[in-house]
Structure 1
Amino acid sequence: MILKIDNKKFIISYTHSVNRGRVRDFYFIDRDGNIVLDKTRFVSYGAGIAEPEKNENIVITDDYIEINNMNRIIKNFYLFIGVVANHTMMIDDKVIELDKFFAPQTNIKIEYKKLSIFDYIVSFIYQINQ
């Protein structure tokens, strides 16, 4: 699947498998084309939830816990589409339900690439014919 991204920001959201709370990870594309985890927001800690590291801030409100200023470059971004996770991706105010495109228990790779208009059209046609 190829998606056009205008503002170079996106959010991946999912239901945590243990605490059943919703987790939102906020990413941006830096000037070198890297995918960078900017912050994560969740309702309560559970297995696999990030802990704040040096220079990261933690914000606690009545509605969520947020770790920001993360600036973690994700070199190989693989996402395992869970059975109960209900993974979604929000890009430019559009919500994409990933389980509508990928079967549960599928491992997908997320990457950022600049494409020529020709490559974009060819990729789009390829997607339609799948």
Structure 2
Amino acid sequence: MGIGDVSNTLIYYKIPLVIILLFILLGIFLIPFRVLLASDYRTGEYLMSWPIKKGAEFYIEYTHSVQLTPVIEVYFIDESYNIILKESYFYSYGAGLPSTTPYKFEITTRGFRIYDINQLMQDLVYRTGAERANHKINIGNKAYPFLNFSAPREGVKFTVEKFSLLSYLAKEVKQ
């Protein structure tokens, strides 16, 4: 066996190995996973997304437009990847804030707390504040101001969707 025979043998082994590795990489990029998707309520245009798992919590925080006090609404992702309103905190009574509730209620150091709501959110939509509201979504110990991914007064709809890693990376790079 000469030198040429050895190099030909290595090529025969390398080609199938490269093909197998390409299929593995392609498979990884096509495996679906779930994201919390923020999209334009009217057009459905992609705004931003975050990988999310069952049982994960996130909260949306903003300044109430009349009372000028913080409001926090806490959500979680259930076993079927639905968005569920878990609890809400607010710091004052006034227009647009509850004065009565059918849910559990307590006064805490963080303000008034309504909890055990467990309300399925079919359409979770917020309108990005233009001046004072300062809407933020807090997910994975990080806050994302709405104005970083949406325009003032834009309706932002939140849903849980399946994305492949490839489409997720393409959308995030395009942003």
Fold match (TM-score > 0.5): yes
| TM-aligned CA deviation for residue 62 of structure 1 | 4.6
Task: Give TM-score scaled by structure 2 length.
Answer: 0.66
For structure 1, list consecutive stretches of 5 or more residues without a partner in the other structure: none
| TM-aligned CA deviation for residue 77 of structure 1 | 1.3
The 5 A counterparts of 1:63-102 are 63-83=110-130, 84-102=132-150
| TM-aligned CA deviation for residue 66 of structure 1 | 0.2
| TM-aligned CA deviation for residue 33 of structure 1 | 1.3
| TM-aligned CA deviation for residue 63 of structure 1 | 4.0
Tell me, yes or no, if the aligned pair for 2:89 and 2:110 is still in contact at 8 Å: no
More helix, by proportion: 2
Change (3 A) 1:10 1:62: closer
Structure 1 runs, 4 residues or longer, greater than 3 Å off: none
Write the distance in 2 (CA, Å) between the matches of 1:100 and 1:117.
Answer: 23
> Which residue of structure 2 lines up, in the alignment, with residue 26 of structure 1?
74
The 5 A counterparts of 1:37-116 are 37-50=85-98, 51-53=100-102, 56-83=103-130, 84-116=132-164
Larger radius of gyration: 2
Task: Give TM-score scaled by structure 1 length.
Answer: 0.87
Query: Size of the alignment, in residue pairs?
Result: 125
Q: What is the root-mean-square deviation in Å for CA atoms of aligned residues?
A: 1.6
Question: Secondary structure in 2 aligned to 1:60?
Answer: strand
For structure 2, list consecutive stretches of 5 or more residues without a partner in the other structure: 1-47
AA in 1 matched with 2:118: N
